Structure 1
Amino acid sequence: MRSSEKISERILLVEDDLVFGKDLVKALESEIKDPVTWTKSLAETLPCLDSSQRYFAAVLDFVLPDATNGEIIDVVTQKGIPSIVFTSVINSELRKIVWSKKIVDYILKDDQSSLGYLLSSLKKLKANKNHIILIVDDSLFFRRAISDLLYMHQYKLITATNGKEALEALKRYPEIKLVITDFNMPGMDGCLLCKTIREAYSKEELAIIGMSSERDETMAARFIKSGANDFIIKQSFIREEFYCRVAQCIENICLLKQTKLDAIMDYLTGLYNRRFFFEKGEKLFLSSRQFNRPLCCAMIDVDHFKKVNDTYGHDVGDLVLQKLAEIFKNFVKQNELIARLGGEEFCFVISGRDGEDKNDFRNQIEKRFNALKALTQATKIAYGDANQKLAVTISIGISFNTDNDFSDMLKSADNRLYYSKKGGRNLVTVTG
């Protein structure tokens, strides 16, 4: 990196209508959360492009006082800035001109939903930087052509020249969300690649778009039956349609992933919920028995939480739970489980290493949870106008008893939690 200081990115807006431009700046900064540089002509824009300022996207009016034929598009896109054309006039001829340039999209101003569509497009453009697409084609020409199209939309790209390379890339980059594959390739055709991919990845985990230059009427059906989500004929696809199909595949994968997360996450704290806790906790318990790993279960309850709600209101109570969840997330290490069981009750399950000495593990756990108790007590939680702050304490019960089953271990931890409460709260009590 050239500097440890992060360079903030902005949105470039080129719009000569003063009233519309002012409203657009307000909407962009409010919804996209990035500052806007607003210019009203080509001449005013040029100095902005020559500066060191970085723009993650540009919104361009097609007709400007000193550039009436869309000259602003070429000037901005040549700087590598992803650009959306926002115009009040469009026809088939103008549409061809616009799409012949390296733009992300064009949007009609006079459509009632145009502003919402623009904001949605910019949000997607920002999110695309987190999405990886794998392009598989033995033709260098088509790999570059498809890559150029997707680069405009800010996707991260990986390329492969055949099926074998594609499968290796999927192993190396499991976060890939979409595979775009040609049919005719040496060693393994696109349909066989789809079938092989589907043996490891479901349609809920990974999308596939098949492509072919062949005019075989059955090709689309062959790809779909092999596990592809969609199919495109190489020579005849429209760029706008291509972007829509790619975006739809990515959106479906993200939606399915979010739906799965929603089913296992607690909506308020962002921690795992009770349902997932019992499923995962049971697996950790059985694994600890199988591989001789020490295990602990820690039950946590927020002290006098009803008093917090009664005194400060439930909104402040929710802030307390959210802050504690943040502390707990930072406390756990990889492969350690934390969940909100309900109300103000949380539970941890922590596994040691294979064959680790149980006494050493126990000592480490006791130290960690005593430190967590102290950190919680020392944390001031801001509420109201942020000048008001309160602190809470937690009681903790810990069990190391794996003699019976996971349910018995939970009961043991809950029993220790009861003694922490009975002993005066803000305590850690251990058994087993």
Structure 2
Amino acid sequence: MRILIVDDSPHHLTMMVYELTKLGYATSVVETGAAAIEAVADERFDVVMADIRLTDMTGIELCWHLRTAQGLRHLYLILMIPGSMTDQFHELVEAGADEFLRKPLDWKWTAARLLAASRVVAMQRDLERLATTDALTGSMNRRRFLERGDEEFNRSRRYGRPLSVVMLDIDHFKRVNDTYGHATGDEAIRSTVRACKESLRTSDIIGRLGGEEFAVVMPETPPVNAYAVAQRLRQAVAAMPVRLETGGEMTVTVSLGLSWLNATDTGIEPLLARADAALYRAKHAGRNRVEVEPRIALPKSLAG
């Protein structure tokens, strides 16, 4: 369980890191509410432990900001309050706090409360997995994929880094269903995702958008590199055997469309729209190929 500590006292931060590390938790530290908001946007934390009095905002305000921005990813929020506080408890919970602990922290009590928090975090992870995962393939569903795509878009835009996206679609999928049955069609979908995952980095994001259509977001990947990846995906899917319901095997191919971040994009959707247009051209140019949008000259060594 990862814990973000938010406190403007260096002494208290050092002490908390020491005690939480002894309890087996991974920790990160920031000193302001604004830094906490940025850290949660960039990294995944399970628990935030924040002092109620920060230099740039109150802990209550920080809770409100974190709750507003969390989306499907639930954070367990713990506010650390002075021992003299005897009211505002309802306000703390209304702002989004799950728990409040009195300073100075009683570490036996804190350890027990964090154990209880870990159970809540585990349940939230299970609920999140159900809400964000495509049941057939185990990849992200459309909603979660678009959320993660926008997160990567915002990160790439903020730091001026390249970002590419690929749309891919199984060729002649209706014919597969009609000829071999829906069970084989489902296996073709699973095999396609399996082939893609084996060819992608752990930092790449794949989602099933619906039916036999998938998309991939590739952070830190300029167009030429992304084109090479798209060709590898195409080849990997064509080489992946699909088990037939009646025994034996077959193979399928995919058509792919590629696009990348440009200066006028306002989110991940425009990139996906351009990739979809390129996918449409790939379908009409014979299938089992990669097209790009906008059209640019690519090294002949990458063609395939």
Matched, 1:393 2:262: no
Corresponding residue to 2:233 among 372, 376, 388: 372
> Runs of 5+ in structure 2 lacking a partner?
296-304
Give the aligned partner of residue 100 of structure 2. 231
Matched, 1:426 2:275: no
Matched, 1:339 2:207: yes
Corresponding residue to 1:201 among 58, 62, 66: 66
SS at match of 2:236: helix
The superposition leaves residues 263-316 of structure 1 with CA deviations (integer Å, 9 ceiling, x where unpaired) of 554332233434456677789899999999988664422234345445655344
Distance 2:28 2:157 in 1: 44
- Flag the 1:373–1:246 CA change in 2: closer, same or farther, 3 A: same
The amino acid that maps onto 1:374 is Q
TM-score norm. by structure 1 comes to 0.45
Q: Is the 8 A contact 1:296 1:349 kept in 2?
A: yes
SS at match of 2:46: strand
TM-score norm. by structure 2 comes to 0.58
> Which structure is larger by alpha-carbon Rg, 1 or 2?
1
The amino acid that maps onto 1:380 is P
The amino acid that maps onto 1:342 is G
Distance 2:17 2:218 in 1: 48
Q: How does 1:276-425 map to 2 (within 5 A)?
A: 298-309=166-177, 313-333=181-201, 338-348=206-216, 361-362=223-224, 364-381=225-242, 390-398=249-257, 409-410=274-275, 412-420=277-285, 423=286, 425=287
The amino acid that maps onto 2:169 is D
Q: Is the 8 A contact 1:376 1:394 kept in 2?
A: yes
Q: Return the offset for 1:328.
A: 1.9
Q: Return the offset for 1:214.
A: 3.5
Q: Is the 8 A contact 2:168 2:215 kept in 1?
A: yes
The superposition leaves residues 178-236 of structure 1 with CA deviations (integer Å, 9 ceiling, x where unpaired) of 245678xxxx589x76246437533855333346684754374575467532235689x
Distance 1:246 1:164 in 2: 21
Q: Return the offset for 1:343.
A: 1.5
Q: Is the 8 A contact 2:171 2:254 kept in 1?
A: yes
Q: How does 1:105-144 map to 2 (within 5 A)?
A: 130-132=1-3, 134=5
Matched pairs, number: 277
> Runs of 5+ in structure 1 lacking a partner?
1-129
Distance 1:291 1:131 in 2: 25
Q: How does 1:1-16 map to 2 (within 5 A)?
A: none
Q: Is the 8 A contact 1:133 1:156 kept in 2?
A: no
The superposition leaves residues 376-414 of structure 1 with CA deviations (integer Å, 9 ceiling, x where unpaired) of 2222345779xx652422231435598996686255324
Give the aligned partner of residue 301 of structure 2. none
SS at match of 1:266: coil
Q: Is the 8 A contact 1:143 1:159 kept in 2?
A: no
Give the aligned partner of residue 96 of structure 1. none
Distance 1:325 1:338 in 2: 8
Identical-residue share of aligned pairs (%) = 23
Q: Is the 8 A contact 2:169 2:254 kept in 1?
A: yes
Give the aligned partner of residue 15 of structure 1. none
Q: Is the 8 A contact 2:259 2:275 kept in 1?
A: no
> Once superposed, what is the RMSD of the aligned Cα atoms?
5.6
Distance 1:302 1:208 in 2: 43
Higher relative contact order (CA 8 A, sep 6+): 2
Corresponding residue to 1:178 among 47, 68, 76: 47
Distance 1:281 1:206 in 2: 20
Q: Is the 8 A contact 1:377 1:391 kept in 2?
A: no
